[in-house]
Structure 1
Amino acid sequence: MKWLCAGLAITLSLPVAGMAQGQKGTEAAGTAPAAQTAQKAPASTASPTVNPDTYVIGAEDSLQITVWKEPSFSGTLPVRPDGMISMVMLGDIRAAGRTPTQLSNDIAEKLKKYIQDPVVSVVVLGVNSQKIFLVGEVGHTGPILLTPGMTPLQAIAAAGGLTMFANQKHIYILRGVQGKQQKIPFNYKKALKGDNSQDIALEPGDTIVVP
């Protein structure tokens, strides 16, 4: 019985070992093609910072424009202060005020004169148009990058906080609305106490004045 059991054990171990070796061989054989496939896969064109369907392109933004299989039409382009970009053969195209999706559609439509069924992607590499400005009694005056949902309290903190001479109750925001300048009051002390009425949603181009 002991010999039979041992023989059985040996008999059973051989196919198992063979299967293990076969599996290792299969895995080894599949490793190289998988790695090669990963290397050949094109890089994702999705922007990690902006939504291509909702973000509105502005002056000074940096765009990566890719036309599939057409490197001569592809490249990194800055949005000029007049809101335009320049492309080979197409000339000037308005980018400011358009979403990346809308701009890619505009470019694709213009490229149909030269390319059959062009595939265009637009990615915002640098968000430089979304700025606000701080002047007066803050640690650092000048422009700062506007982040989504930023409040005046957060903007002041990003600018180094208030100086000891700041009038915390009479801060205000200057905003251009339809060619006119609007003055929005902001009370720093109330904001520190958690007053929700002071959570004013800042907009690009706003200027926070700290007297």
Structure 2
Amino acid sequence: MNRVGPQILGLLSLCSIVLSGCETAPLAPNVEPPTEYTYIIGPGDTIEMFVWGNPEVSRSIPVRPDGKISAPLVEELPASGKTPFQLARDIERELSKFIRNPLVSVIVSGFVGPYSEQVRVVGQATKPQAIPYKENMSLLDLMIVVGGVTEYAAGNRSTIVRTVNGVQQQFRVRVDDLLEDGDISANVNVLPGDILIVPEAYF
């Protein structure tokens, strides 16, 4: 007899909880977006490191899956979880061992972000995916990125799973009203780390 692994059982349990809560979950409040949001670097990002007066050291650097970067004169430096400003100061400290008073600028050119900041869209979206959070991102922005929902979607039973004060909560969103009826009142703000689940319609 085939055994069902604990990961599969956990996923099935989560799906059943989410689906059972679709009808009873409260509507998502239109919360205020984070004030003065600053992008946080994550694995998979690409950064441009500019060292003024030292073009031989300046270059484009990928952030490795372990969240670290390696560059000339800079080895195994943690980058994930930092702002570009913070990373620039850390690079300056490393380079100061070899270069007098280095001045570094860091620009992110390929955006992925840390997993905790990404917004995920799963289920009956046209292109389910994880999306880097952007300032003032809304439900409509998510729908544009994922190309809307499939013909099998029950858009008005969609839910957002969100962590509030350390507790995971579920809120209902009206995707069909937003996309099909143009009801702008259904367009709510999303927050870093939100998960949008678009279920399949019952036939």
Note closer, same or farther for the CA distance 1:165–1:61 as it changes in structure 2 (3 Å cut): same
CA distance in 2, matches of 1:153, 1:120: 37
Number of matched pairs = 157
Q: Structure 1 residue 183: deviation in Å?
A: 2.5
* Mapping 1:19-168, distance limit 5 Å: 54-129=38-113, 131-168=118-155
Query: Who wins on radius of gyration, i.e. which is larger?
Result: 1
The alignment's C-alpha RMSD in Å is: 2.7
CA distance in 1, matches of 2:160, 2:103: 43
Which residue pairs with 1:29 in the alignment?
A: none
TM-score by length of 2: 0.65
Note closer, same or farther for the CA distance 1:182–1:82 as it changes in structure 2 (3 Å cut): farther
Q: Structure 1 residue 122: deviation in Å?
A: 1.0
Note closer, same or farther for the CA distance 1:176–1:78 as it changes in structure 2 (3 Å cut): farther
Letter in 1 for 2:125: V
Question: Given the alignment of the two structures, is residue 209 of structure 1 paired with residue 197 of structure 2, yes or no?
Answer: yes
**Structure 2 gaps, min length 5:** 1-36
Letter in 2 for 1:201: V
Contact 1:172 / 1:208 at 8 angstroms: preserved in 2?
A: yes
Contact 1:144 / 1:159 at 8 angstroms: preserved in 2?
A: no
**Structure 1 gaps, min length 5:** 1-52
Find the partner of 2:156 among 169, 174, 192: 169
- Output one character per residue of 1:81-124: Cα deviation in whole Å (capped at 9) or x when no partner: 22211123331112122221221111112222211111111111
The structure carrying a bigger helix percent of its residues is: 1
Q: Secondary structure at the match of 2:156?
A: coil
Letter in 2 for 1:58: G
Q: Which has the higher contact order (CA 8 A, sep 6+)?
A: 2
TM-score by length of 1: 0.63
Question: Given the alignment of the two structures, is residue 193 of structure 1 paired with residue 183 of structure 2, yes or no?
Answer: yes
Contact 2:160 / 2:170 at 8 angstroms: preserved in 1?
A: yes
